[in-house]
Amino acid sequence: MGAEKIVLKESPPLEFIFDENSFQIINAANPDSEGIYEHATLKSVGFHKEKTNWFLTIFSFMVELVVGVGGGDRYKDKKKLTIHHANKKVKIDLFDCEQKTIDKLISKLKAIANLTP
């Protein structure tokens, strides 16, 4: 069976390459998450959707109101993928990645770990 590649981003490259017993993460934006991981060590997969950080947004708005600067922005927590292995936890920011491709990757990882999608 040949290797399957899922490309989340082209620049900087963020790719997952799957073979029969392991998968490789290529992440030019965060080399700490790069590596080759055995399927047997995969414990769980978590996905955190982009959402508004209301605490930071409200705090920022109040400070700007007191200082008299103006409006205020909405602060968002980025989409993240967390992969738990037997001896390592890998966190990957999914900025500018298509949701359809993210869903495909999560399904593949969960199938490897025998988790329900």
Residue 74: the pLDDT is: 66
* Tokens 């103006």 -> residue: 70
Token pair, residue 53, equals: 């950080």
Domain ranges of the chain: 4-112
CA gap 37, 63 in Å, rounded: 45
The answer to whether the bond into 12 is cis (omega within 30° of 0) is yes
Q: Per-residue confidence of the chain (117 residues) as pLDDT tens digits?
A: 578 999 999 999 999 999 999 999 999 999 999 999 999 999 999 998 876 656 766 777 777 767 776 666 766 668 899 999 888 899 999 988 999 999 999 999 999 888 544
Tokens describing residue 64: 């700007």
What is d(CA 55, CA 9) in angstroms, rounded to the nearest whole number? 30
Would you state the CATH architecture of domain 4-112?
A: Roll (2.30)
For residue 92, the one-letter residue type is I
Instruction: Give the 3-state secondary structure of residue 17.
Output: strand
Sign of CA dihedral 110, 14, 102, 75: positive
